[in-house]
Every structure is written in C-alpha cells, then in structure tokens.
Amino acid sequence: MKVRVIKRRAKSLYTRSGIPGVEWAVNQYAGCAFACEYCYAKFLTRWKDHGRWGSWIEVKTNAPDLARKHVSGSVVMSTVSDPYQPIEAELKLTRNVLRYMDKRNELSVLTKSPLVTRDIDLFKEFRTIEVGLTINGFRGREKRLFEPLTPVHEARVNALKELHEAGLKTYVFVSPIIPEITDVSAIVEETRGFADYYFFEVLNLRASGREFQELLRDEYPESYAVLIEEDAFEEFLWRLKKEIKALGVKAEGIETHRRGWEFVGLESPGWR
C-alpha cells in the first residue's frame, strides 16, 4: 500500500489524554502505516478526509520544538499512531522529539516495532521512563488477516529483550486479546524473563469498525460470538482472569470495551 505523507505544523504536542490513568498523550504522527485492521484509532478518518486508514500519515514537522515543554504527570507516546512506524526510519521525527523532550517528564513509550531499540541511548537520559511492546502472538493466517504490515512476533520479542538488557523498565501490552485466538499464556511464558509488568486488553470490537467485525464474524464465528454474547463474554473474562493470576506476573488487570471502557482488576472482589 502506498502511503501518503501529509506534513503540517502543530500548535501543541502534549494533549490531555482521555485514557484513564494517563494525563498526557504525545503523537508526533497521526495515522499509522501498520494499518492494523482492528485498530481503534481509525476513528480519525471521521474528520481527517485523507482516505482509508493506513493509507496516510500526518507528520507534525515542528514536534521536536514543541516537545521541550515540561508537563506534570504521565506522558504516553503514542495513542493514535505508532512512533516507530516505517517512515520513522527515514524521518527520525520520534528520535528528535525524544532528544528535545524535557527529561523530567514521566514517559511511557509503546510500539510494535523493533526500530525502538535504536533510541536506547536517548531513553537512558530520562529520569522516569518505561518502554513497551505490543505483543499478541499473531502468526500465519491471523497475521495476514489482522495486521499484515506489522513487524513479526519474533522481532518484537527480541526488541523487548534488548531493551530489558539495556537496563530499561519494560512492559508487554498483550493486545488485542481475541477469544480462541490469542494465547495469553504462551506470550507471557516467552517474555516473562524480560518484562517488568504486563497490561492486558480484550479486543475493542465496537471501535474496530464494520469491516473488521464482519471479517471476524465470517472467519472466526466462535470468537465473534464470545465477544457479542453477554454470558459467553463474562465466562471468557472469568477464565482469562484466572489464567493471568495463575501465571504469577505483575499486572493490574484487564482492559475491556464491551460496555464502553472498563478495567477489571485481578483482585476485584465479587467478580465471578
């Protein structure tokens, strides 16, 4: 897929985040060439008339200058893009944002790309930082259908290991968890030696859009049924919570979206 690059100047880089527990979001790019079919961020196409999700990227050319600001509270990079999507290898926009960012900021970086290891030297300049890899274990047919343009599973795991061995705090964002498809235990067992903690998220089916919903319904009807039927979904969550607790890793809970954003704590009293 040919990706259209749209360069613009932004008024600000730090925006208040609507994600619970996150004060600020930094998105030097908007849009993402990884073009994951299930991505919730495709909502941007509602008011950015650039074309199909994944076919365009907005580049905030003055982002490094705007990054100098000191903000109080947690900062996440990024929420509507991947900071290490393919164009970053050429533009080095993320690297320059990191270079000029106030190192007192509490930064959390999340990506699917092994390119993240390029910036280990800059990560080490921050007082408080953590770097995470989104790992879902998709291979073969599932990867071709769900996220054909993303780095392969093994590359993400190797990047996580390299970050950990460099002395950085690391985490694994296990997402999206799709019933009957995502093997949570296998992901944890493969990465537990170099992840400080885990965060788990069940697929946001509503935000994935009509095309992905139809794909999942037609190709994986059992998975789809679990996500839309209340009793089946509650049973799935109960089993998932039990599985995660048995793994004995540091994790606060499970993010779900069936009735809007919900966070299910692993120690939630009275939950099943």
207-237 confidence digits (pLDDT tens): 999 999 999 999 999 999 999 999 999 999 9
* The two three-digit tokens of residue 242, written as one number: 């039990």
- Give residue 85's pLDDT band: very low, low, confident or very high (50, 70, 90): very high
Query: How high does pLDDT run on average in the chain?
Result: 94
Write the CATH number of the domain with boundaries 4-265. Answer: 3.80.30
Across residues 104-120, what is the average pLDDT? 97
For the beta sheet containing 262-265, the strands, ordered from the edge strand earlier in sequence to the opposite edge, are: 14-16, 24-26, 74-77, 106-111, 128-134, 169-177, 197-202, 251-256, 262-265
Q: 145-188: per-residue pLDDT in tens?
A: 999 999 999 999 999 999 999 999 999 999 999 999 999 999 99
Q: Is the peptide bond before 148 cis (omega within 30 degrees of 0)?
A: no
Q: Is the peptide bond before 78 cis (omega within 30 degrees of 0)?
A: yes
Q: What is the pLDDT at residue 269?
A: 52
* The two three-digit tokens of residue 24, written as one number: 């600020």
Q: 25-45: per-residue pLDDT in tens?
A: 999 999 999 999 999 988 776
Beta strand 56-60 with 74-77 is unpaired
Q: What is the pTM of this model?
A: 0.95
Terminal Cα-to-Cα distance of the chain (whole angstroms): 45
Q: What is the pLDDT at residue 2?
A: 85
Domain boundaries, the chain: 4-265
Given a contact cutoff of 8 angstroms between Cβ atoms, the answer to whether 182 and 174 are in contact is yes
Given a contact cutoff of 8 angstroms between Cβ atoms, the answer to whether 79 and 27 are in contact is yes
